[in-house]
Amino acid sequence: MDTLLGRRIVVGITGSIAAYKSAELVRTLTQEGADVRVAMTRASQRFIGDITLQALTGHPVATDASAEGTSGMEHIDLARWADVIVIAPATADFLARLAHGRADDLLAALCLATEAPLVVAPAMNHAMWQNPATRYNLTLLRGRGIRVSGPASGEQACGEIGPGRMCAPEQITEDLAGIFATRRLAGQRVVITAGPTWEPIDPVRMLTNRSSGKMGFALARAARDAGAEVWLISGPTHLAPPDRVHFHPVVTTEEMKGAVEGCLPADIFIGAAAVSDYRPAEPQREKIKKHDERMMLALIRNPDIVAEVARTKPRPFTVGFAAETSDLVSQARRKLLEKGLDLIIANQVGVPGIGFDADDNEAVLVEQDREKPLSRMSKDQLARRIIDEITERAPSAPVTPV
Ligand SMILES: Cc1cc2nc3c(=O)[nH]c(=O)nc-3n(C[C@H](O)[C@H](O)[C@H](O)COP(=O)(O)O)c2cc1C
């Protein structure tokens, strides 16, 4: 199995007798080529020593105490770093805290702060597992997309028999691999544009728009996590380039077009950039001085990058974005047909909390004959959903060897 190779996995350990099995889990994941870090609750340290986990991973273990000795941002750093977080063993108490969004220690805060998929491997006495409070917490967690690995049934540490044993480390490893294996873009070349473009009027002014680039960057991370080789071509943003993605910063639409052409052919193209439709016809070399009450700025049409990509041969599976203020679906479908796209992601703009610069978004996937609404979620979650939807539709055989 090489699905875990290079994956960044945080193993969270909580205070159960099964914590001794975490050492074996960490070892198995490391042997699979994963890059593993461990975070422990205070209670778990009574069951297994952090020195064991430090030796197995080659990295210091994150605990409430270690957080005090660092920048204080350890939970955020790990939350961003992780491709997946697995809590094994997960106590009844931790599941309750997770279900209710508590952030009262480093591990809980880490789980609340992450955008990465979360997996829990419960371990507890069978009566605790079957208690309606635990069942209800599990329902809440599953409803939020948190995966549950196990538990197994059998003889328990207390001598009783029933469900609640933490499942075997090999089983948890397989479940983790399944998260990445279901992503089917391995070997595919994906080109994504993001952010705004800047069209100079003179050396100090420009024509631009309110795109932050967050959606395009999230798509690049999601496509990368799905196994694709990703090229991200972005106009100016404040965002850090994602790891393990080929990053091409550009400024103008013409530059973006050139960079896109340089990255083709591709299997999938996603035009998430908010490209300026027009640019000043004659950008001035010198700063324009104020004279008259009114001034006219002549504009010319910019190339329509996504429409041009849709006409290239071999043609990638081509996805566009449409930000609309009214008639969302009909406007998006008109663009889909005019530009010859396979799929268009339509966003309503002007709604507080979503769209430009927000961390959340909601969208409608529009095709020729159907549409599918995706309700409000974080841009990272939405990006993963969009990549899943594209994966279902795009031809699976790569047109270009990577
Ligand atoms: C010896 C002993 C064993 C325990 N085993 C478990 C267990 O297997 N599962 C569980 O949910 N809680 C178990 N507990 C209770 C938890 O350790 C307790 O709820 C603790 O507060 C959990 O903290 P944490 O979730 O922050 O690690 C055990 C407690 C003790 C003293």
Task: Say whether 189-393 and 8-181 share the same fold.
Answer: yes
Determine if ligand 1 sits within 6 Å of the CB of residue 44.
yes
Non-local (6+) Cβ contacts of 223 within 8 A are 185, 190, 192, 230, 268, 270, 387
Regarding the beta carbon of 43 and ligand 1, being less than 6 Å apart is answered: yes
* Helix, coil or strand: residue 361: strand
Half-sphere exposure in the Cβ direction for 305 (13 Å, CA): 32
pTM for this predicted structure: 0.58
Which has the closest alpha carbon to 19: 130, 122, 159? 122
Fold classification of 8-181 is Rossmann fold (3.40.50)
Tell which one of 21, 91, 130 to mutate to probe ligand 1, the residue whose CB is within 8 A of the most ligand atoms: 91
Q: How far is the CA of 23 from the centre of ligand 1 (A)?
A: 17
Report CA 278 to chain centroid distance, whole Å: 32
SS3 223: helix
Q: Which CATH architecture has domain 189-393?
A: 3-Layer(aba) Sandwich (3.40)
- Protein residue with its CA nearest to atom 28 in ligand 1: 16
Domain ranges, ordered by start, for the chain: 8-181, 189-393
Ligand 1 centroid–CA 16 distance in Å is: 5
At 62-84, the pLDDT tens digits run 999 887 766 677 788 899 899 89
Does 121 sit in the ligand 1 pocket, CB within 6 Å? no
Query: Residue 300's pLDDT band (boundaries 50, 70, 90)?
Result: very high
Q: What pLDDT digit, counting tens, does each position of 216-273 carry?
A: 999 998 898 888 999 999 999 999 998 789 999 999 999 999 999 999 999 999 999 9
Decide: residue 70, CB within 10 A, 0-12 exposed, 13-18 middle, 19+ buried.
exposed
Under DSSP, is residue 7 helix (H, G, I), strand (E, B) or coil?
coil
For the Cβ of 123 lying below 6 angstroms from any atom of ligand 1, the answer is yes
329 SS3 class: helix
HSE, side-chain direction, 13 A CA sphere, residue 139: 7
pLDDT at 2 over 60: no
Is 263 marked active-site? no
State in Å: Cα 41 to ligand 1 middle: 10
> 351: closest CA among 335, 366, 364?
364
Band (pLDDT 50/70/90 cuts) for residue 374 is: confident
Per-residue pLDDT averaged across 334-347, rounded?
96
